[in-house]
Amino acid sequence: MARHVRSIVLTGNGTNCEMEMAHACRLAGSDVVDIVYVSELLAGRKRLDDYDFLNLPGGFLDGDDLGSAKAGAHRIMNASIRGTDEKVSDQLARFIRDGKLILGVCNGFQLMVKLGLLPAFDGDYATQRVTLTFNDSGRFEDRWVYLGVNPRSRCIFTKGIEGLYFPVRHGEGKFIARDGEVLKRLHAQQQVVVQYSSGVSGEPVMEYPANPNGSVDAIAGICDESGRLFGLMPHPEAYLHYTNHPRWTRETLPEEGMGLLIFRRAIDFIRNNL
């Protein structure tokens, strides 16, 4: 019997893409989709243990005042749940140990790397090894980009997908690693999932604007070693229907947008494997 899938979309403190992400989960077939404020987790009114799929949407956590998602990561790691000694990070650790799925988009990706959830070498989900910093252009980038997908990646979310076309909307999207060894290991372990490219299924590019932020090795998204945790800067939840496409009046497009593929892969995996 297929599993009943419960998805949680975390919001609050500056998040602004929660409605689109929740809509994507519903369209992809999640049986339950709850938009939950971080404050509800901290008050103990909601628990991550009750869900299978954690979605971390885009936005501007705490105004990015300490750098993108840094304050949000500090809150999750250190704030105790009211009336207990437990932290949200304790629930997050159990969530990962149970083999559940996490998707972080834009600010959600920034949050994952600041928490250490990615790349999580050797099962270490608490050490930060990469970051996302200011775009080389020195300005906020709002444009559509092509993404090449690594066919050798273990990423659950991109299985069987050759290329993608999504919008980016960020000021701090440049991916960099702590050192060359981290970068080398990301590639060797096939944890680089998507790269900015010259077209769908195209080669990785460093040139602006195809690479909108100057990310090292054109990296737009990575996963952990299991493929169950995935973060990327471009927004799949912003392309769920053909009318979301910037050229929908000039091109013949499938009714479903490419972004829905990401969420369908996640929901189908949970339903059939957890």
Q: Which residues are catalytic?
A: 106, 235, 237
> Over the Cα atoms of the chain, what is R_g?
17
Instruction: For residues 170 and 149, give the distance between their C-alpha atoms in angstroms, rounded to a whole number.
Output: 21
Instruction: For residues 231 and 77, give the distance between their C-alpha atoms in angstroms, rounded to a whole number.
Output: 18
Q: Are strands 174-177 and 163-170 parallel, antiparallel or unpaired?
A: unpaired
What is the 3-class SS of 134-186, one letter each residue?
Answer: CCCCCCCEEEEEEEEECCCCCCHHHCCCCEEEEEEEECCCEEEECCHHHHHHH
Closest CA to 194 of 219, 214, 216, 228: 219
Instruction: For residues 237 and 20, give the distance between their C-alpha atoms in angstroms, rounded to a whole number.
Output: 6
Mark 16-42 as b/e (b = at least 16 C-beta within 10 Å). Answer: ebbebbbbbbebbbbeebbbbbbebbb
List the structure tokens of 89: 């990070």
Is 254 in contact with 184 (CB distance < 8 Å)?
no
Instruction: For residues 51 and 31, give the distance between their C-alpha atoms in angstroms, rounded to a whole number.
Output: 11
